[in-house]
Amino acid sequence: MFPDRQLEALLALEQRIRRKLAQAAASIGLDQVVFPGAGRTEHVFADDREEIEALRREDPSLFERGGEDVHAHSGEEYRQELRKGMERWGERIRGLPWGVGSGFVGGSRAGYVFCARAFDHVRMRFVPADLDGEIERDTLTCLGMLSCEETTERTLPEAFAEGAFAAWERARRDIYEEWLEATDPANLQPEVRPLFKAAADHVRTHGSEGLSIEERDRLADALEAPWGLRQEKRLREVFTPEGADGGPPPPRSPRP
């Protein structure tokens, strides 16, 4: 049962409240949501309104979809679709050449979705048709853009197909840059807090009384580890970086 005459007013009230909360959170850089379910950015309520209106019209499709968009699949659901597809058309799919593509009309955004393989990793990218918009990297989002029915008609105008080459260059470059960042040894190193770096440099520069060169190096290496706040507090009790308090570090040697 719905309060038919008050439906529009109730929806508008919720929309206004959530928009004001999102704007307030964004203006002060709030890290946490104000209450569960309220994000820090403005939310579009078109889908919510459509679902409620569908219920008011006694449209049963909402119950058939379980309250979700017909294409709002999870990763497991996509894997099941792929498994069934391979069982049915596996030989034809395996016989397709590299660089194969197709097209259809559907969805809310025009563009190109690419599926590429970089070594053992599959990467998906959505590039807007105008080539200037933001690239989408989330795999489930890209798969959702590709979702269609078995009866969906193939449509790929020549001009749109020609634009795929420039779009692929954007997608390929983005995948390559992501791969470079992921494989850069500097990005694979654990984060070492500044105090521990300073202590390790102090040990290497000034040495430590009673320690051999090998022991000094091991101590410096031990300091350059991703220690937590509790260990940092203990280190501050025996070591202060030069210049941090206006004077030289204390004479005692740091201990990990």
pLDDT at 249: 47
Same domain, 194 and 207: yes
Q: Which residues contact 256 (CB under 8 A, 6 or more apart)?
A: 219, 222, 223, 225, 227, 231
Same domain, 135 and 199: no
**Range 4-10 contact pairs with CB under 8 angstroms and sequence separation of 24 or more:** 4/56, 7/52, 7/56
The identity of residue 94, as a single letter, is R
Same domain, 216 and 183: no
Measured between alpha carbons, how far is 255 from 233 in angstroms, rounded to an integer?
12
Same domain, 175 and 134: yes
Q: Is residue 81 part of a domain?
A: no
Q: Is 41 exposed, middle or buried (0-12, 13-18, 19+ CB in 10 A)?
A: exposed
Q: Which residues contact 161 (CB under 8 A, 6 or more apart)?
A: 101, 103
Nearest Cα residue to 112 out of 130, 132, 137, 129: 129
pLDDT at 49: 63
CA atoms within 13 A on the CB side of 97: 4
Domain boundary among 160, 187, 214: 187
Give me the residues paired with residue 112 across strands: 127
Nearest Cα residue to 138 out of 121, 150, 125: 125
Same domain, 205 and 172: no
Q: Dihedrals φ, ψ of 233, to 5°? A: -65, -40
Q: With a cut of 70, which residues of the chain have pLDDT below it? A: 1-14, 23, 25-51, 60-74, 186-190, 208, 242-256
pLDDT at 167: 95
Measured between alpha carbons, how far is 191 from 149 in angstroms, rounded to an integer?
47
pLDDT at 248: 45
Same domain, 113 and 45: no
Number of domains comprising the chain: 3
pLDDT at 136: 92
Q: Is residue 85 part of a domain?
A: no
pLDDT at 42: 46
Domain boundary among 142, 172, 187: 187
Q: How far apart are the first and last CA of the chain?
A: 67
Same domain, 51 and 101: no
DSSP letter assigned to residue 184: -
Same domain, 108 and 174: yes
Whole-prediction pTM: 0.49
Q: Is residue 80 part of a domain?
A: no
Same domain, 141 and 129: yes
Domain carrying residue 35? 4-64
Q: Is residue 84 part of a domain?
A: no
Nearest Cα residue to 56 out of 2, 92, 124: 2
- How many CB atoms neighbour CB 199 within 10 A? 28
Measured between alpha carbons, how far is 167 from 151 in angstroms, rounded to an integer?
27
Domain boundary among 139, 172, 187: 187
Same domain, 114 and 164: yes
Q: Is residue 91 part of a domain?
A: no
Same domain, 227 and 248: yes
Q: Is residue 43 part of a domain?
A: yes
Q: Is residue 78 part of a domain?
A: no
pLDDT at 36: 52
Measured between alpha carbons, how far is 178 from 183 in angstroms, rounded to an integer?
9
Q: Is residue 169 part of a domain?
A: yes
